[in-house]
Amino acid sequence: MILKKNKVYILDDDESVCRAIKILLTTFDFEAETFNSAKSFFDTVSNDDPGCLLLDIHMPEFDGWAVQKRIMDSGSKRPVIFISAENTDIIENRVLKTGAVGFFQKPINYQKLVNLINTASEDTYGMVK
């Protein structure tokens, strides 16, 4: 039996954040792909492509809230985890109301992130590493 690697999409306008998270996730045997804009993400990834999305809240053009709304409106079951340098109770409450599976403030606690990605992928796609 061949087990597929869990796929993670990282959407953040800061290339250094994308690079750092991608390096970390590949060390945990994830397949990671980075995007610096919502347009490039939506142009590349279809709703049917399995994988978890790590989504920055504050980005130019389409912010994380608009991206999450588009994903939800499309009927996609893709698990979304928001990330942001900002952390307030208002943001955390809004994240939960959007249907996202979690929120992490930068700098990210990577072990908790990996655990949440594994749980979200298993719950959504039945994928287990």
Query: How far is Cα 85 from Cα 73, in angstroms, rounded to an integer?
Result: 26
- What lies within 8 Å, CB to CB, of 114 at 6+ separation is 25, 28, 30
pLDDT, the chain, mean: 88
**DSSP structure string for 5-37:** PPEEEEE-S-HHHHHHHHHHHHHTT-EEEEESS
Note the pLDDT tens digit of each residue in 86-116.
Answer: 877 788 888 888 889 999 988 888 899 999 9
pLDDT tops 80 at residue 124: no
| Segments making up each domain of the chain, as ranges | 7-124
- pLDDT reported for residue 123: 66
pLDDT tops 70 at residue 1: no
pLDDT tops 60 at residue 27: yes
Query: Which residues, in sequence order, are bridge partners of residue 80?
Result: 53
Q: What fold characterizes domain 7-124?
A: Rossmann fold (3.40.50)
Query: Which residues, in sequence order, are bridge partners of residue 10?
Result: 34, 54
pLDDT tops 90 at residue 19: yes
Mean pLDDT of 3-17: 87
pTM to 2 decimals? Answer: 0.87
